[in-house]
A and B are shown apart, each in its own frame.
Chain A
Amino acid sequence: SQQGEEDPQALSIQEGENATMNCSYKTSINNLQWYRQNSGRGLVHLILIRSNEREKHSGRLRVTLDTSKKSSSLLITASRAADTASYFCATAVFSSGNTPLVFGKGTRLSVIA
């Protein structure tokens, strides 16, 4: 089952611009993570934000979390052509000991040089 819904589904920007991707989810979560996936490749973990955090930074990445709205955003500043990839949010819902990550539909980002 999928929990997250990202928007936009596809985003095309010029190099140097900022890219903002949003993710909404349905149930209460323990944490929310963002991943990047280059075409046909595996996942690269970008950042994790816990449910009691509102904002987190890592390099050119800024993630926000609004648990009241069940939404998160990922901002990539000063984008580069190498940032071209699909970006997924994934949520962890703590239940019994097994807690898979549930992925959103993803945003395909194209950064044009």
Chain B
Amino acid sequence: GAVVSQHPSWVICKSGTSVKIECRSLDFQATTMFWYRQFPKQSLMLMATSNEGSKATYEQGVEKDKFLINHASLTLSTLTVTSAHPEDSSFYICSARRGLAINEQFFGPGTRLTVL
């Protein structure tokens, strides 16, 4: 199967600190990874598209300086929430695409971020 992991699964941090979330494709190489954010009782909103070795493409309204994305290898993408504030508290989900087939996209289990 195609497994995507996220670490940590949950994190609580103080306002003003930075938090790094890792997304790993465990048994396949992912040239493209996507980051989504989900607020309580809402849907998943695409934040950015991350390609290995290049800069991420951010969706309109997502601050690239606040949500730093690094896709340094074919199996790892990281999302760093810088200077976190309580309004950044959310569920962050990554997905990784295997190959070029559109339906070959696999989701991580999500990371619950709570900023106090």
Which residues of A line the B interface, CB within 8 A? 1-2, 30-31, 33, 40-43, 45, 48, 88, 92, 94, 97-106, 108
Contact = CB atoms under 8 A, between A and B. Distances in A.
Given A31-B102, A31-B103, A92-B103, A100 B41 contact: no
Nearest to A88: B43
Nearest to B109: A42
Nearest to B57: A98
A42 B46 contact: no
A33 B107 CA distance: 13
B106 to A, nearest CB: 8
Interface of A, secondary structure class, is loop
A33 B108 CA distance: 17
Contact of A97 (B43, B46, B100): B100
B94 to A, nearest CB: 10
A41 B91 CA distance: 9
B42 A100 contact: no
Nearest to B4: A42
Interface string B66-104: 000000000000000000000000010101010010110
